[in-house]
Amino acid sequence: MGKFCDVRKILGLAVAALALVCGGFASRAVDSSRERAVRSETARAAEGIRQRAADSLSALVSDLRLKVENAAANPRLVFALQGNADERTIRDLWRTEDWWRPWRTEFKIYAVAVKGVRLDVVEGIDAADLDADSLLRRARDRGDAAAEIIIGKGWPYAAAATTVRVSGRDKAPVLLLARPVDQVVMRQLVDKTGGAVTLTNGHAVLVDAGSESERAVLSQAIGSEATGTIFYAKDGAWAAALTPVAPALWLWTFVSTANAIRDAQGAASERMAMVWGVVIVVAGAAVVFGLRRPREQAPTSAQFPSPGAMTDGARSTSWTGANVRAKMGTSISHAIDGGTSPGPSGDGTVDPRGPTAVASSPVGSGGIAPESPFGRYTLLDRLGEGGMAEVYTAVTFGAQGFRRKFVIKRLRAEMAREPAAVDQFIDEANLASSMVHSNIVPVFDFGKVGEEYFMAQEYILGRDLTRVTRRSMERDGRPLPSEVALYAAHETLKALEYAHSRTNEQGQPLGIVHRDVSPSNVIISARGEVKLFDFGIVKAEGRVTKTQSGVVKGNVTFMAPEQARGVNVDARADLFSLGLVVFYCLTGQVLYAGNTTYELLVKAATGPDRDEFNQIRALPEPCGDILQRALQPKPDDRFQTARQFADAIAAHLGAGAARLAALMHHLFDEDFKIEETRFRSFGPLDPSGTSGPGSGSHQTEPRQS
C-alpha cells in the first residue's frame, strides 16, 4: 500500500507540474497571438488612414483640373495665344489684366508651353527649377487636363496642366497652374486622417502638420519608403502609413496603436484567465488526487466522515463551483443575489434581467415567513432571493394609524458570517443612502435585527422596464413607443449625471459608476416617474470592497465592452449599458444573442458587429442615430457624459412623460389596485404574531429588485 501511495503521489505531482508547464506554453502562445492581433488591427487602421490620405490628395488635384480647364477656356487667353504674342506680351497680360486676377490671386505659379514640353513663359519661379515635364507631356498627349504633385525648387506643388484650344497652330499651347502644398493643405490632410502627416522626398521633411509629438516620431519613418506601406515603431506604441504621392515623393501619416493594444490586451487577458483557470483546476485536482489517502476497503455509511470532519489533522479541500470560479479569477455577480449566469429562458430568448434578476418565489419558501415581525418592520410578501440577499415588501406602523410600506433587502444569514459580503452590503447601504435625487430609489434605513443585516428602500408602486416592456408585448403586441423609451432614458440619464458627478467633502470626484444599468434596475411608478436603483456593484472611490482586476461584475446582456473584458471602467460604460436598455425597450429583444454565459460574455466584450449595427440603424428615427453613437465599442467614440447623451435625446421627447403615465395605467391599473388593497387591509401584528382584522395574504406580482 505504501508503494501505491508513493506512485499515486508522484503521478499527481507530475500531472500538476505538466499542467503548469502547459500553462506556460499556452501563455506564450496567447502573448504571440496578442502581438499578431495588434499588428493586424494596426495594419487595418493604417490601410484606412492611407486610403483617406490618398482620397484627400486626389480631391485636391481634381479641384485643380477644373480650375486649369476654366482658365484655358478664357476667351482673352485664347485670343492672346492665337496670335504671335511674344513672351513679354503674355507676361504683361498676366501681371496687369483684371480678367486674369482670380488665377493670379490663387496660384503662385502660372506658365505656358507654346510648342513642346518646355515652358516658354513662367511666372513665379524659374523654369529650370520646376520639374513639370511629365505633367506637360501627359496633358499634351491626352489632350485634356492632368494634375499631380510636382517639385519646384525643392518644394512640393500641386499642379495641373491642360491644352489651350487655339486655331492656327500646329500644336496647341499647354497652360500650367500650380500652388504650394503648404500648411493649409497639410492641416486639411490632418483633419481627414486624424493624425500628423509628413511629406518627404525620402531623405528629409519637406512639409508636415499635426501635433508636435506625432510629427517628431514620424521623422523616424523617413528613409523606409522602400520597405513597405506600414512602418512599425520598435516599442509598438505607434505606426506610420505610407502614401506614394509622386516619383520620389511620399506622405507618411501617424497611426496610433493604443486602441489596437487595448483591445488585444483585453482579449488576451480573457484568454489568459481561461488558460490559468483550467491549469489551476487541473493542477489542484491532481495534487488532491496525489495526496489523498486511498480507502483500504469500502466503508459503511457509519464510516463516512461528517461534512465538517477533520482528516489527518487537515480540513479536506472543497472544489465547489464557487471555489473554481474564484480560482479562475472571473465571476459574474450582483449585489443582491450573487448572480446566476444569464441564459436562454424557456421560450428560447435571453432573460434581459440576466444575473441581476431576483426571481419570484412562493410565499413562505425559505428565509423568514411572510407576515412576520422583523425589528420595527413587518414583512409582507417575499419577492425573491439570490446568493447574497432576500427581498421582501414590508410595512411599519406608528401612532394614530400611521403606516408606511418599504422594500427590505435582508442579507442572508450564512452571508452575514462572510466579512467580504458584509462589507459589500454596508458599502451599498452607505452609498445608496447618500444618493438624494428624484430619479434614484433612496435607502432610508440600515441596521441589524439580531445578527441579520438589512436595508430599507423606498417602496414604489410600479414595475421595472423589463416587466413594462414584456406586458406591452403581451397585451398590445408591440414594444414601447420611441417617445416613451427616450423619455425613460432621459430621466435615467438625470440619475446617472447626478451619480457620476458626485464629489467627496474635499470636492474630489468619487468616480461613481453604476455598472449594472439594465431594464430590471429602472423602475417606472404608477404615475410614470422613472427611478434608477440597485447600486450594489457600483464602482466608487472610497469603497471598502474593491473589484479585482479581471473580475467581471454586472449583467452581461447590458454590459459595455470594457466592462465585459474585466478592465477598468468609467462613467461611459453606464451610458453604453443605457443604450442597450433603450434598444431592448424599442424592440422587446436584447441586442446580443447567445446560448451560454461565455458566448454572451465574448459578444459583450467585442461590442456590436456589422449585423447588429444594421439592426440599430433600422430603428425609428431619431433612435437609430442616437444609439449608433451610444453603442460604439470604443469609449472615446460614444457620448462622453450623461448630460451630452441627454441633450441628444431632449429635442425628441415630445409627450413622452404623459404617454408613459398613460401606458402604466393601461398596462397595470388592475394590478396596482390589488397591491394597494393588500397594503391597506394589513394591520399591525398582535402579540400572538397574527395580523389584525382585515389582514390579507394575497401574493402580488413582484415588481422591484
Torsion of CA 462, 428, 576, 494, to 10 degrees: 60
- For residue 391, the SS3 value is strand
Residues whose CB is less than 8 angstroms from the CB of residue 199 and which lie 6 or more positions away in sequence, other chains included: 156, 181, 186, 205, 206, 207, 208, 245, 249, 250, 251
> Residue 95 is placed in which grid cell?
501681371
Q: What angle do CA 670, 672, 675 make, to 5 degrees?
A: 115
Annotated catalytic residue, options 516, 625, 637, 686: 516
Nearest Cα residue to 567 out of 237, 261, 262: 262
Instruction: Answer yes or no: 92 catalytic.
Output: no
Contact between residue 639 and residue 645 where contact means Cβ atoms under 8 Å apart: yes
Q: Where are the alpha helices (DSSP H) in 143-257?
A: 183-193, 212-218
Q: Where are the alpha helices (DSSP H) in 153-257?
A: 183-193, 212-218
* CA 364 – CA 371 distance, rounded (Å): 10
User: Dihedral of CA 351/352/353/355: which sign?
Assistant: positive
Reduced 3-state DSSP string for 504-572: CCCCCECCCECCCCCHHHEEEECCCCEEECCCCCCECCCCCCCCCCCCCCCCHHHCCHHHHCCCCCCHH
642-650 vs 482-500: helix crossing angle, rounded to 10: 150
Contact between residue 400 and residue 373 where contact means Cβ atoms under 8 Å apart: no
Nearest Cα residue to 454 out of 394, 513, 541, 398: 394
Q: What angle do CA 307, 308, 313 make, to 5 degrees?
A: 125
Question: Taking the CA of residue 222 as centre, how many other CA atoms within 13 Å lie in the half-sphere pointing to its CB?
Answer: 19
Q: Which residues are catalytic?
A: 516
